[in-house]
Each structure stands twice: as C-alpha cells, then as structure tokens.
Homo-oligomer: A and B are copies of this chain.
C-alpha cells in the first residue's frame, strides 16, 4: 500500500507524509528501494523529514541512486554531518561522484581526521582494493589478552564496519602480525594472550584488482581481507559485502562487453540517452568499418558471383555459422580465463581441443546443409541448377572450414587479448563474428573455386 502511494503520480504528495510512510520500513535497503522510485527533488524533500540516523543508514547503502546529487540538495551543514557519519569507504564513493568545486568545499568542512582518511582513499584508482576498502576495522596490539580485546570490541562495535576479523599488530612497528576471528576469540581463555587464538593472515595490496580480491575472499572463505602497504601496515579492509557488489558488477560488465559495447555502470533506465548512444555507437562503428572488408572480399570475387549467383544464396547461412561457433568458443574461454581455470601458456591445449571440435561441428552442419539442398532440389521447392550436388558439396566443405576457423579464432582471441594486456572479456560476440566473416567469405569462395572450376566457374 505504501508502495502504491510512492508510485502514484499525484502531484500533491506531501513530503512529510511520504517520510512518515517510509520511516515505517524496517530495513534501510527497503527504504532505499522506495526512495529510488521518487524524482530527485522529491527524494531530497522526503529526506529532510527523516530522523538523522535513518538518513545515515540510507546513504550507507550502495544501491541508493545518485547519492552525490542528493547530498548537493541538502543544506551544507547537514551534508557535512552526514558525510562524517558515513563509513569512510562509502563517503569516498560519494566524494568520487561529486564534481570539483563542491567536492573540495565539502571536504574542507570535515574534521581533519575524517578528511585525511577520505583523501587517502580518494587517491586509489577505481576497482582496486584501495578504492573498495574501509578504514573502520578493529586492530589490537599483540601484547593484549583475549579479555582486553573483547572489552575493546564491545566499545568500538558501533563504529566499525565489521568486528568479525580482528587484526593483531606489532605494538611498536604497527605492522600486521596475525588475525583473530570473533568466533575463535570468544572461545579463548579470558586471561590468555590474544596470540593464543590467532593465526597468520591472508592479505592483499592496495592496487590489487577487485577481481583478484574477490578471488581471495571466495577461495579462502573470508569475511574481510586486510589491505597492507609494502611495510606490512594495514591500510584498510575489504569486506565480503563490498566484494559481492563488485562480483555482480563484473558479471554485468562481462555480459555487456561480450554483447559488443562499452560497459555501463548505471541501471539501464538511468543511463543518459546521449551517453548510451555514445557507448554503443563507438563499437558499432568500429565493427562496421571492419566488416567493410567483407564488401572488399565480395568485390574481389565479383566475377565468380556473376557466373554463379546460386552461391550468393548461402552466404548469410555460412557466415553466420562461423560467427556462432566462434561466439560459443569465446564465451567458454573468457570465463575459463577469468576464473583462472586456464593460464596463458595453456593455449595449445585449447587448440588441441578446438580443432577436432570445430571439424566435428562443421561436419554436423555440413550434413544438415546437404540434406536441405537435396530435399529442396528433389521436392521441387527450388532449382539449384544442373550441378546442385557440387553446390551442396561446396557448402558442406566450406562449413567444415569456416566452423573450424570460427572455433579456433574464437577460442584464441581471449588468449591474444590477455597476452597483450587487455581484459579477455573484450572479446565480444560481434568482434568474433566480424573476425570470422571476412575469412569465412574467402574460405567459401576458395572452396567454390576448387569444387566448381570447369562446371559453374
């Protein structure tokens, strides 16, 4: 019912009333979902009527649409208190989205400690461990006892993103020595040293890619991984919930790139129309210009085409089969490389699989093609001419060649991209199809010249 209220287009909605409706929602995530359904000025008006601790909860949710825009709609004093109340990693995310004069002005309003912490996080490139991490973690010196640590956690619990991993530091050098999980901590003897329940930590570095951080967290089933500098000091931690968001985003990027476009971060309906066109037109034009080579290939074989127009009938069919088999092989290999199932040096093992696979798949399609031509010819649906058997043989042989070439080049493309330092996920289906189309035409007409010389050609 409250959702209906929020969805309605009644212009006379009162922000205070909406806020009262929203305040009844128990979980911040549900509140955010409702706010995302409102226009920005309306959402800002509603926010002004919510209690302050709820506003902080709302801004701590990464799902909130355009938090930077909402912050700018708030009075500056309120924006300052809000940004100080957020977790450091979340505040940094929002600062990153603020345009420049506003960003510096708001940063300067913050207390020196918060400002320094956000400024240090802002300097890490996006999608690195440094940009994902938060500085609100629990650390204790290694000469503390189990009981001292527990007391400390009880005090700081509210201000820490997670207390399930506690980092044990060298009392002098402040370097990371060990890690304790809260579940092991509570089973420890109160007077024993914290080291009695600790074990050696798995760490990452601030410039590690988020995919690598995700792999560590998932491989070792961690709830958080500490980010350490070259001296062994903990800069922050990346928590499992941030990593889940990162994994989902990577999945979206992989699908979008595979679809042949630049990756988009925003939800579909929120991408600006101009930006969407830009992200699509770029690749589309590059592919179009590359695909123009097919016109050149066709021009090269123009005399063959004029002599045997029957050959043109099968061009779309044959070319699409090459693209399809290539796209299958690419999708298999992109993920195998992304999940580190295969290394760069394994390319030859893949060739040894894709070569027989391509020949077999091409032969399957070739047989279907021969049956189709023979049926249409003998049932009188269409007349492929006196030499229809030779035409059918040409089509089948070309299919074997093209599907094999498609499978091989589709599977090798991710390796080639990786070899030259690109993300293998850039090997999109349209990219592979374009690569295979030109060669496919050349294979088709070459096979035709061999099979049909002296008859049609």
Contacts and interface: CB of A to CB of B under 8 A. Distances in A.
Given A295-B314, A305-B309, A258 B331 contact: yes
Given A186-B154, A248-B247, A267-B339, A319 B321 contact: no
A251 interface: yes
Contact of A217 (B244, B305, B330, B369): B244
Contacts of A172: none
One complex includes copies of this chain to the number of 2
B259 A331 contact: yes
Given A323-B433, A327-B429, A219 B268 contact: no
A221 interface: yes
A298 B273 contact: no
Given A244-B244, A276-B357, A295-B372, 11 more contacts: A157-B187, A247-B247, A259-B330, A260-B328, A281-B360, A284-B328, A291-B317, A294-B316, A298-B316, A299-B313, A429-B430
Contacts of A325: 280, 284
Nearest to A331: B259
A68 B254 CA distance: 32
A226 to B, nearest CB: 15
A324 B221 CA distance: 39
Contacts of A327: 259-260, 428-430
B320 A434 contact: yes
Nearest to A261: B328
A332 B292 contact: no
Contacts of A306: 309
Interface string A337-351: 001011000100110
30 contacts: A157-B184, A157-B186, A186-B186, A218-B244, A221-B241, A255-B255, A255-B335, A256-B332, A260-B324, A261-B328, A267-B342, A268-B336, A268-B341, A269-B349, A283-B328, A284-B328, A285-B365, A287-B320, A287-B324, A288-B368, A291-B320, A292-B317, A292-B372, A294-B320, A306-B309, A320-B323, A320-B434, A323-B323, A323-B433, A327-B428
A335 B266 CA distance: 11
Contacts of A283: 324, 328
A16 interface: no
Interface residue tally of chain A, by bracket? 35 or more
User: Chain A binding site: helix, strand, loop or mixed by DSSP?
Assistant: helix
A64 to B, nearest CB: 12
A220 B339 contact: no
A165 B146 CA distance: 21
A264 B218 contact: no
A38 interface: no
A110 interface: no
Given A269-B342, A324-B430, A280 B357 contact: yes
Nearest to A425: B255
A86 B28 CA distance: 37
A339 B252 contact: yes
B328 A268 contact: no
Interface string A421-434: 00000001110011
Contacts of A382: 299
Interface in A177-204: 182-184, 186-187, 200, 202
A5 interface: no
A163 to B, nearest CB: 5
A425 to B, nearest CB: 8
A268 B333 contact: yes
A284 to B, nearest CB: 6
A162 B183 CA distance: 9
